[in-house]
């Protein structure tokens, strides 16, 4: 008697994994459907009974927060289906980490939701899509991943969705945690996975519009802060220096925004580490917090923007922010 395979939903949103080179366009463009991908990787059907779902064929930069909300609404019935063991979502790598973060904040899955993709189009001899999809289905079907929540599986690594960060423009091993080690791995067909810790409680799918992300490098005079506020910004995420400091020349504009009641979240441009109120000089983290700003902890700026959009949309406030 043949063993009963776990049922894994494959939700196709597009990305490089579904692209191929187009001579007329001069580069890779969306081309393959979900069914096309499944046919190209026959090993998938040996690992699970596949439930394909066509969501879209979007390049990563075409994804928006609103479309992620739509994706979450597609995923929820699959999560509620007791016959589904896990879900794999194909996605463009340029915005995969933002979608993974938002899904982690919107869903409370009792089964794995795995995002994956490729750094090489399907027409490339070094196409990495087959391996990534195969690894992802293995993880989705594995008892070890039950209750793991939102994950990113890429180049044999298993990462928490909220922590995965794209660190290289075109290297196949581009995704890594911002700090620390991967949650697990897929090696020679074996899934090894540590027990993840749940992040903050999920929020309702309500996103505030008008949250702007600005970078404040050395000597920035803050004019972009003033411009954003005058243009109707509902919140500001500022990518500052060190552990959460901004240039002295930008401080007056930041203070003006705070005085007008604009929520301001301060991040660091550093690759690792977190924001802290260590320093107390003008423009440092402690003085910014005293003026009403919030430090973003370990959240990089692009994820902090999504968090602020969610918090403002849910009227949840910024107390207890966890980076």
Marked catalytic residue, from 13, 16, 95, 134: 16
**Residue at a domain's end among 147, 165, 193:** 193
Query: Which residue range is the domain that position 290 belongs to?
Result: 211-313
Q: What is the DSSP letter of 40?
A: H
CATH of the domain at 228: 3.40.50.40
Residues 267, 181, single domain; the answer is no
Look at strands 49-58 and 7-14 and give their pairing.
parallel
Q: Judge whether 141 lies within some domain.
A: yes
For residue 13, which phi and psi values (nearest 5 degrees)? Answer: -110, -10
In degrees to the nearest 10, what's the CA dihedral of 12, 13, 15, 18? Answer: 40
145 vs 165: CA distance, rounded Å: 20
> Are 73 and 180 in a shared domain?
yes
Task: Give pLDDT tens digits for 38-95.
Answer: 999 999 999 999 999 999 999 999 999 999 999 999 999 999 999 999 999 999 999 9
Are 236 and 175 part of one and the same domain? no
Contact between 212 and 257 (Cβ < 8 Å)? no
Who wins on pLDDT, 322 or 184? 184
Cα distance between residue 8 and residue 246, in whole Å: 47
Kindly state whether residues 135 and 245 are assigned to the same domain: no
Domain membership of residue 51 (yes or no) is yes
pLDDT at 64: 96
Over the stretch 140-159, which tens digit does the pLDDT of each residue have? 999 999 888 999 999 999 99
31 and 61 assigned to the same domain: yes
Q: What pLDDT does residue 227 have?
A: 97
Mean pLDDT to the nearest integer, 225-244? 96
What's the rounded mean pLDDT across residues 90-119? 95
For every residue of 206-238, which 3-state class applies, written as one string? Answer: CCCCCEEEEECCCCCCCHHHHHHHHCCCCEEEE
Q: Rounded CA gap, 296 and 27, in Å?
A: 38
Return d(Cα 248, Cα 250) in angstroms, integer. 5
The burial class, CB within 10 Å (0-12 / 13-18 / 19+), for 275 is: buried
For helices 93-106 and 301-313, the axis angle rounded to 10 degrees is 40
**Same domain, residue pair 185 and 226:** no
> Average of pLDDT values for 8-27?
95
What is residue 318's predicted lDDT score, i.e. its pLDDT? 81
For residue 322, pLDDT over 80 is answered with no
User: Domain tally for the chain?
Assistant: 2
Please report the pLDDT score of residue 199 as a whole number.
67
pLDDT confidence band for 253 (50 / 70 / 90): very high
Query: 213: how many CB neighbours lie within 10 A of its CB?
Result: 18
More reliable by pLDDT, 186 or 180: 186
Same domain, 143 and 242: no
- Of 134, 159, 193, which marks where a domain is finished? 193
Report the distance separating Cα 36 and Cα 47, nearest Å.
Answer: 18
Is 249 among the catalytic positions? no
Whether residue 28 is contained in a domain is answered as: yes
Specify if 321 maps to a domain. no
Contacts of 70 by beta carbon, 8 Å cutoff, 6+ apart: none
Predicted structure pTM score:
0.92
Here the tokens at position 299 are 């959240």
**CA 186 from centre of chain:** 21
- Give 198's pLDDT tier (boundaries 50, 70, 90): low
**Which CATH number does the domain housing residue 184 bear?**
3.40.50.1170
Q: Is residue 60 part of a domain?
A: yes
Residue 139 resides in a domain: yes
Helix (H, G, I), strand (E, B) or coil at 60: helix
Do 242 and 131 fall into the same domain?
no
Domain stop point among 166, 193, 220: 193
Do 222 and 172 lie in one domain? The reply is no
180 inside domain: yes
- Asked whether residue 254 carries a pLDDT value surpassing 50, the answer given is yes
Average pLDDT over residues 25-31: 92
User: Residues 156, 280: one domain?
Assistant: no
Residues 42 and 188 both lie in one domain: yes
Let me know if residue 204 belongs to a domain: no
Within this chain, do residues 140 and 242 fall inside the same structural domain, yes or no? Answer: no
- Indicate the average pLDDT of the chain: 93
pLDDT of residue 323: 46
């Amino acid at each position: 008697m043949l063993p009963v395979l776990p049922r894994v939903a494959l939700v196709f949103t597009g990305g490089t994994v579904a692209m191929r080179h187009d001579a007329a366009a001069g580069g890779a463009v969306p081309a393959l459907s979900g069914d096309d991908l499944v046919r190209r990787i026959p090993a998938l059907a040996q690992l699970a009974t596949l439930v394909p779902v066509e969501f879209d064929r979007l390049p990563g930069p075409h994804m928006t927060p609103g479309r992620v909300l739509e994706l979450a609404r597609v995923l929820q019935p699959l999560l509620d289906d007791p016959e589904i063991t896990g879900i794999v979502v194909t996605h463009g790598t340029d915005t995969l980490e933002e979608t993974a973060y938002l899904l982690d904040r919107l869903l409370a899955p009792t089964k794995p939701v795995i995002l994956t993709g490729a750094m090489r189009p399907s027409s490339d001899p070094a196409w990495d899509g087959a391996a990534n999809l195969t690894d992802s289905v293995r993880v989705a079907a594995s008892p070890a991943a039950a209750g793991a929540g939102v994950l990113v599986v890429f180049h044999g690594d298993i990462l928490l969705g909220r922590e995965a960060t794209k660190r290289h423009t075109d290297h196949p091993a581009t995704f890594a945690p911002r700090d620390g080690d991967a949650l697990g791995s897929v090696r020679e067909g074996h899934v090894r996975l540590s027990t993840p810790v749940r992040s903050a409680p999920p929020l309702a799918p309500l996103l505030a519009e008008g949250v702007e992300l600005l970078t404040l490098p050395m000597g920035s005079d803050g004019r972009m802060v003033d411009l954003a506020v005058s243009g109707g910004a509902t919140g500001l995420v500022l990518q500052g220096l060190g552990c959460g400091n901004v240039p002295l020349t930008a401080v007056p504009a930041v203070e003006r925004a705070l005085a007008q009641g604009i929520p301001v979240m301060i991040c660091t441009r550093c690759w690792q580490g977190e924001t802290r109120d260590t320093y107390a000089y003008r423009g440092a983290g402690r003085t910014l917090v005293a003026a009403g700003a919030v430090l973003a902890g370990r959240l990089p700026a692009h994820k902090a923007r999504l968090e602020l959009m969610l918090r403002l949309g849910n009227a949840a406030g910024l107390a207890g922010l966890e980076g």
